[in-house]
Chains A and B, each alone.
Chain A
Amino acid sequence: MSTTISSSTKRMAAAALVAALGVTTLAACGTEDVRDAAGKTGAPAPKTVTLVSHDSFNASKEVLAEFTKETGFKVKVLKAGDAGEAVNKEILTKGSPQGDVFFGVDNTLLSRALDNGIFVPYEAKGVDRVPATYRLDKENRVTPIDSGDICVNYDKKYFADKKLAPPVTFDDLAKPAYKDLLVVENPERSSPGLGFLLGTAAKYGDEGWQDYWTKLKANGVKTVDSWELAYNQEFSGSAGGKQAKGDRPLVVSYASSPPVEVLYGEPQPKVAPTGVSTGTCFRQIEFAGLLNGAKNPEGGKALIDFLISKKFQEDMPLQMFVNPVAKDAALPELFTKHGVVVEQPETMAPEKIAEKRDPWIQQWSSLVLK
């Protein structure tokens, strides 16, 4: 909240606007959308619970309807930009949040969110079904919901044609056999790009990753600004890349990308056109938390319980292309058939990421971009 502009000024301005905009505002008030947007204080607990998330959030209609049936709460979803933007917006509106629950803060942003106190503790029912490796906050201010791996993907056709074995590890990527083949995202502007950088830092150490990137640079690594540009423009294994004559058969993407390629094939292929270099992965964990100042905390708690329920966990993979964290949730056939299991992903503590992120990105920029 702004400290200099009192709420009475706000109300006056608001009243003046209602008068001035007249027709437009009246027309707007006529619809039910505006009615359910206004938080009613003092009345019995609102029937709507609002979930704030990033742009990639998805859930199937049936599963959300199931939640309403079980609890009586209707879920309203607000998408607040990409993951970083969404978290910053929550920090900015701390105490007067846009919704009740926030989903989508990952391990690279977790410290920033927790240090700013946007969440209040809540131990979700059934959280004991989630392995301890995912439960990074001991105070339960956030609950792990899903995990995914950021890995190098390869264009199977390219390597088959060249009779070359695709790379498997970080070390491989710096070998002469794979010169000028890899495209990565700028870690400052893209979350897979950041994940990949953190993966190399976890692998080669705080002082070793710079040497590795010097080698990658000498081996012709190309950097672009976003995943969209890397995957749809530069990567030779995607539909967009083929049309754009993309000439990079290696791209930083997700371990789930090959099954998604199958799902959205036209027609669906029998095997995925792309593969995963399983030794180049960085583990991303996404969390949800009850927002500090939520208007409907009861609904919010019920929603967090629901997010780790078997039903939601099993719905997630095909909606957001991530893995469930609850032990009892089974993966869909698409994933077991076309996906890979990443045995040893690189990881890093959120506190360390928060501390090193900016200096590392700066070092990376002067090392790779200049």
Chain B
Amino acid sequence: MAAPVVFFALFFAWPVVSIVERGLRVDGAWQFGRFGETLSRPEILDVLWFTCWQALASTGLTLLIALPGAYVFARFDFRGKGLLRAVVTIPFVMPTVMVGTAFLALVGRGGLLDGLWGVRLDGTVWAILIAHVFFNYAVVVRTVGGLWAQLDPRQEEAARVLGASRWRAWRTVTLPALAPSVAAAALMVFLFTASSFAVVQILGGSTYSTLETEIYRQTVVRFDLTTAAVLTMVQFVAVGLVLAVHARIVRRRETALRLVAPEETARRPRGAGQWALFVVVLVSVALLIVLPLGVLVERSFATSHGYGLDYYRALQTPDPSGTFLVPLLDTIGNSLRYAVVATLIALVIGGLAAAALTRRAGRLVRGFDALLMLPLGVSAVTVGFGFLITLDEPPFDLRASWILVPLAQALVGVPFVVRTMLPVLRAVDDRLREAAAVLGASPWRAWREVDLPLVRRALLIAAGFAFAVSLGEFGATVFIARPDSPTLTVAVARLLGRPGELNYGQAMALSTILMVVCAVSLLLLERLRTERTSGEF
């Protein structure tokens, strides 16, 4: 418990509190008057309203589209499942600029919809919502699917045998068991989309702004730290409310469940209904995820003189102006190194926190549970500026150190680790632990022999998340990464910031490589799981 608390306090709470204090206290006088004034401005109210409803709509839409997906991934056995599960996670690591480009190509001028029906969605809220589904599909599939795959289908079958209709059996047996993980997924999607930044800027144009874009504007453009601090406080309160609601829902639902090996529950689709569902899910994944990614892949090969590997070849040679001191291919190694360290930190911190949260359900502990989720909902700009004014003295002058990159990345990874592991950990029947204790096992041994085998799957899913978050992270990385060791995402952004065909093409090629790196890493993680499952349960 101590490690997560200290980690959280030092790398999140302290920086954020300091920057808010800096904004709210000007020359020693507190500026509380600014709350009323800021919050009564009509444009700020518009921003708050839009932030809330677009996040709610995005969350609803994502659940609607991704829950059937979670079912298919959990309960059906089909060829290429591992690969497809890795593919739906790719959006998670993609630089938002690239995703924006891909979506503009599909729903914007001259895009697919424009060509077919003359419909353009760029600059509308629909483009934003669809892109949010694209980014968060994997959150639902992985969080809900992870638990779903381990639910014993025989319980639902028993209900059927006792005469319940299929719907009733699902509603009364499976849904209550799934509720905590559905709530967890919804919470993460909501926090993510509520703090959405680049998607709103690129696809919404200058028309829409969210609380996040507004905090960025006040901090970076206008340098009005007081207004930014007021908005950050609003963000805190809003996120706090959401977390409280979530905690209430979950607490009433969590019960010990009978967990089985996922391999036992998955089978090939049977009957017209299951096949139809299977096909619908595959088509939605193809349209929503594979197609936009495909646009980027296509552009990485499309040179001014037909398709070719020119851009990929250029990646291996130093830049003509010598701007990147290393061939761009080296950025893959840099990205992977950061991601491995960040994943380890997130697993250690998040794992310890989840373990502590399983046992003691005191009010304090529950509060800490909610606090751990805050980094998802609080502006990256706030945290980043906070780092600057707090981590500036030895022995913790970390501002210029590479370790800050994986630390900042882990901050976003930890909530994922906690949220994926906690539902499973809490579902472990306490009597198993008690039995182990009665038989003379130490607490550590009981954890190792009882909890660990059951949560190994969740642990690997969590690791996948933390890894993907780190690979795709941009804000902290661009700030700290050395010019001589840029990561993939940083290199993509720099390439896109310059004129010239080769720069644009190489950005596309690097993005394609990023997709492959992400997919391969996640597949390797999956392999790790299947090799060890024998005799687990």
Partners in one complex: yes
The answer to whether B221 touches A228 (Cβ under 8 A) is no
Please provide the chain A residues from 43 to 61 with a CB less than 8 Å away from any CB of chain B in the complex. Answer: 50, 55-58, 60-61
The answer to whether A4 touches B400 (Cβ under 8 A) is no
CB distance from A53 to the nearest CB of B (A): 9
The answer to whether A77 touches B217 (Cβ under 8 A) is no
The answer to whether A188 touches B217 (Cβ under 8 A) is yes
Q: Is B93 interfacial (CB-CB < 8 Å)?
A: no
Report how far A233 CA is from B111 CA in the complex, Å: 12
Report how far A321 CA is from B494 CA in the complex, Å: 13
Residues of B within 8 A of A224 (CB): 205-206
**B107-128 toward A: CB 8 Å interface, digit per residue (1/0)?**
0111000000000000000000
**B285-311 toward A: CB 8 Å interface, digit per residue (1/0)?**
000000000000001001110000011
Residues of B within 8 A of A327 (CB): none
Q: Is B61 interfacial (CB-CB < 8 Å)?
A: no
Report how far A76 CA is from B321 CA in the complex, Å: 20
Q: Is B402 interfacial (CB-CB < 8 Å)?
A: yes
Report how far A263 CA is from B320 CA in the complex, Å: 7
The answer to whether A319 touches B321 (Cβ under 8 A) is yes
Q: Is A133 interfacial (CB-CB < 8 Å)?
A: no
Chain B: which residue is nearest A76 at the CB level? Answer: B400
Q: Is A155 interfacial (CB-CB < 8 Å)?
A: no
Residues of B within 8 A of A91 (CB): 223
Chain A: which residue is nearest B503 at the CB level? Answer: A264
Report how far A99 CA is from B393 CA in the complex, Å: 13
**B473-513 toward A: CB 8 Å interface, digit per residue (1/0)?**
00000111111000000000110111111111100000000
The answer to whether A33 touches B321 (Cβ under 8 A) is no
The answer to whether B395 touches A38 (Cβ under 8 A) is yes
The answer to whether A77 touches B392 (Cβ under 8 A) is no
Report the interface size class on chain A. 35 or more
Q: Which of A13, A21, A25 contacts B14 (CB 8 A)?
A: A13
Residues of A within 8 A of B50 (CB): none
Residues of B within 8 A of A218 (CB): none
Report how far A319 CA is from B325 CA in the complex, Å: 11
Assess A245 versus B109: contact at CB under 8 Å? Given A228-B497, A265-B500: yes
CB distance from B225 to the nearest CB of A (A): 8
Q: Is B97 interfacial (CB-CB < 8 Å)?
A: yes
Q: Is A358 interfacial (CB-CB < 8 Å)?
A: yes
CB distance from A293 to the nearest CB of B (A): 10
Report the interface size class on chain B. 35 or more
CB distance from A368 to the nearest CB of B (A): 9
CB distance from A141 to the nearest CB of B (A): 19
Report how far A225 CA is from B204 CA in the complex, Å: 10
**A78-116 toward B: CB 8 Å interface, digit per residue (1/0)?**
111110110011011100101100000000000010000
Chain B: which residue is nearest A9 at the CB level? Answer: B14
Report how far A39 CA is from B348 CA in the complex, Å: 29
**B234-245 toward A: CB 8 Å interface, digit per residue (1/0)?**
000000000000
The answer to whether A88 touches B219 (Cβ under 8 A) is yes
CB distance from B380 to the nearest CB of A (A): 11
Q: Is B394 interfacial (CB-CB < 8 Å)?
A: yes
The answer to whether B397 touches A37 (Cβ under 8 A) is yes
The answer to whether A79 touches B101 (Cβ under 8 A) is no
Q: Which of B385, B393, B480 contacts A10 (CB 8 A)?
A: B393
Q: Is A11 interfacial (CB-CB < 8 Å)?
A: yes
Residues of B within 8 A of A369 (CB): 206-207
Q: Which of B7, B403, B504 contacts A232 (CB 8 A)?
A: B504
CB distance from B350 to the nearest CB of A (A): 13
Q: Is B105 interfacial (CB-CB < 8 Å)?
A: yes
The answer to whether A89 touches B21 (Cβ under 8 A) is no
Please provide the chain A residues from 191 to 211 with a CB less than 8 Å away from any CB of chain B in the complex. Answer: none
Please provide the chain B residues from 94 to 151 with a CB less than 8 Å away from any CB of chain A in the complex. Answer: 97, 100-101, 104-105, 108-110
The answer to whether B479 touches A79 (Cβ under 8 A) is yes
CB distance from A100 to the nearest CB of B (A): 11
The answer to whether A56 touches B9 (Cβ under 8 A) is no
Q: Is B398 interfacial (CB-CB < 8 Å)?
A: yes
Q: Which of A13, A274, A318 contacts B10 (CB 8 A)?
A: A13
The answer to whether A233 touches B101 (Cβ under 8 A) is yes
Report how far A355 CA is from B396 CA in the complex, Å: 38
Report how far A5 CA is from B14 CA in the complex, Å: 9
Q: Is A349 interfacial (CB-CB < 8 Å)?
A: no
CB distance from A335 to the nearest CB of B (A): 12
Q: Which of B7, B201, B322 contacts A17 (CB 8 A)?
A: B7
CB distance from A316 to the nearest CB of B (A): 11
Q: Is A130 interfacial (CB-CB < 8 Å)?
A: no
The answer to whether A239 touches B400 (Cβ under 8 A) is no
Report how far A13 CA is from B13 CA in the complex, Å: 12
The answer to whether B223 touches A112 (Cβ under 8 A) is yes
Chain B: which residue is nearest A89 at the CB level? Answer: B388
The answer to whether B392 touches A244 (Cβ under 8 A) is no
Q: Is A280 interfacial (CB-CB < 8 Å)?
A: no
Assess A98 versus B499: contact at CB under 8 Å? Given A23-B348, A28-B403, A80-B479: no
The answer to whether A229 touches B110 (Cβ under 8 A) is no
The answer to whether A264 touches B101 (Cβ under 8 A) is no
The answer to whether A238 touches B3 (Cβ under 8 A) is no
CB distance from A188 to the nearest CB of B (A): 6
Q: Which of B3, B401, B496, B502 contacts A21 (CB 8 A)?
A: B3
The answer to whether A81 touches B400 (Cβ under 8 A) is no
Q: Is A7 interfacial (CB-CB < 8 Å)?
A: yes
Chain A: which residue is nearest B28 at the CB level? Answer: A3
The answer to whether B498 touches A260 (Cβ under 8 A) is yes
CB distance from A30 to the nearest CB of B (A): 11
Q: Is B272 interfacial (CB-CB < 8 Å)?
A: no
Assess A98 versus B7: contact at CB under 8 Å? Given A23-B348, A233-B101: no
Report how far A10 CA is from B396 CA in the complex, Å: 8
**A230-246 toward B: CB 8 Å interface, digit per residue (1/0)?**
01110000111011110
Please provide the chain B residues from 1 to 44 with a CB less than 8 Å away from any CB of chain A in the complex. Answer: 2-3, 6-7, 9-10, 14, 18, 21-22
The answer to whether A92 touches B389 (Cβ under 8 A) is yes
Assess A55 versus B389: contact at CB under 8 Å? Given A37-B400, A223-B206, A229-B202: no
Residues of B within 8 A of A263 (CB): 320-321, 500
**A247-286 toward B: CB 8 Å interface, digit per residue (1/0)?**
1000001000100110111100000001000000000000
Report how far A39 CA is from B394 CA in the complex, Å: 7
The answer to whether B110 touches A245 (Cβ under 8 A) is yes
Can you name 19 A-B pairs with beta carbons within 8 Å?
Answer: A1-B392, A11-B395, A20-B3, A25-B403, A34-B401, A34-B402, A55-B493, A76-B400, A78-B480, A81-B220, A82-B220, A88-B219, A189-B221, A223-B205, A226-B202, A238-B504, A260-B500, A264-B500, A266-B303
Residues of A near any B CB (own CB < 8 A): 1-2, 4-5, 7, 10-11, 13-14, 16-18, 20-25, 27-28, 31, 33-34, 37-39, 41, 50, 55-58, 60-61, 76-82, 84-85, 88-89, 91-93, 96, 98-99, 112, 186, 188-189, 223-229, 231-233, 238-240, 242-245, 247, 253, 257, 260-261, 263-266, 274, 318-319, 321, 358, 369
**10 extra interchain contacts, Cβ-Cβ under 8 A, other than A13-B10, A21-B7, A228-B497?**
A10-B393, A17-B10, A55-B494, A88-B385, A224-B206, A227-B497, A228-B97, A240-B101, A244-B110, A264-B320
Q: What are the 8 tightest A-B residue pairs by CB atom distance, in nearest-first order?
A: A264-B500, A239-B501, A245-B110, A264-B502, A20-B3, A37-B401, A318-B321, A60-B322
